[in-house]
């Protein structure tokens, strides 16, 4: 079952369960996916976005909410921070398990070996391989410095 189907099924179940907060978050996810679909169709992709793009959308939404929760905590708005964290929980239900630090380092090593990268100029190719294989499983903001350290 693809991600879009899982999200739709969860949305229907949240409606039946009258889970307002969960329903709200699932509707936000659906809206973000539909926005990307519209953009993809404008570029000539009639089928819309696939699972890798949906994973990227979910990862971005999760990261945004993490940053928002941190900002709300610093501002003393714990109620809003809790709401952001509950949204993160719903979003992460659809994301694959995140790689540990050791697994990320191994993935970087494998990608470097696969591409034959030997200098910092090859960083783009290594990152492209990582994004193809580990979208939604790896924080690329942390992977970039790992790759850079290995190649310099």
pLDDT digits (tens, 9 = 90+) for 13-65: 999 999 999 999 999 999 999 999 998 888 887 787 888 888 889 988 988 99
What is the model's pTM?
0.74
Q: Are residues 10 and 68 in the same domain?
A: yes
Q: Residue 14 CB: number of other CB atoms within 10 A?
A: 19
Q: Are residues 42 and 71 in the same domain?
A: yes
The distance between the two most distant Cα atoms of the chain, rounded to a whole number of Å, is 55
What is the domain-level CATH number for residue 145? 1.10.10.410
DSSP 121: G
Q: Are residues 75 and 113 in the same domain?
A: no
Closest CA to 107 of 81, 82, 131: 131
Q: Residue 127 CB: number of other CB atoms within 10 A?
A: 19
Quote the pLDDT of residue 82: 94
**Which residue segment(s) compose the domain that 135 sits in?**
101-151
Q: Are residues 32 and 71 in the same domain?
A: yes
Half-sphere exposure of 126 (CA within 13 A, CB side): 28
What is the domain-level CATH number for residue 71? 1.10.1510.10
Q: Are residues 13 and 52 in the same domain?
A: yes
Q: Are residues 15 and 53 in the same domain?
A: yes
Quote the pLDDT of residue 78: 93
Number of domains in the chain: 2
């Amino acid at each position: 079952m693809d991600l879009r189907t899982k999200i739709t099924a969860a949305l229907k179940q949240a409606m039946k369960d009258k889970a307002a907060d969960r329903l709200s978050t699932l509707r936000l996810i659906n809206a973000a996916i539909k926005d990307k679909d519209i953009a993809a169709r404008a570029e000539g992709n009639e089928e819309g976005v696939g699972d890798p793009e949906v994973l990227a959308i979910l990862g971005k939404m999760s990261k945004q909410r993490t940053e928002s929760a941190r900002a709300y905590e610093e501002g003393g708005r714990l109620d809003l921070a809790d709401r952001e964290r509950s949204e993160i929980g719903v979003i992460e239900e659809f994301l694959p398990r995140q790689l540990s630090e050791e697994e990320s380092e191994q993935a970087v090593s494998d990608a470097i070996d696969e591409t034959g990268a030997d200098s910092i100029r090859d960083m783009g190719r290594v990152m492209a391989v990582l994004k193809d294989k580990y979208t939604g499983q790896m924080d690329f903001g942390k992977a970039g410095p790992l790759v850079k350290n290995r190649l310099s």
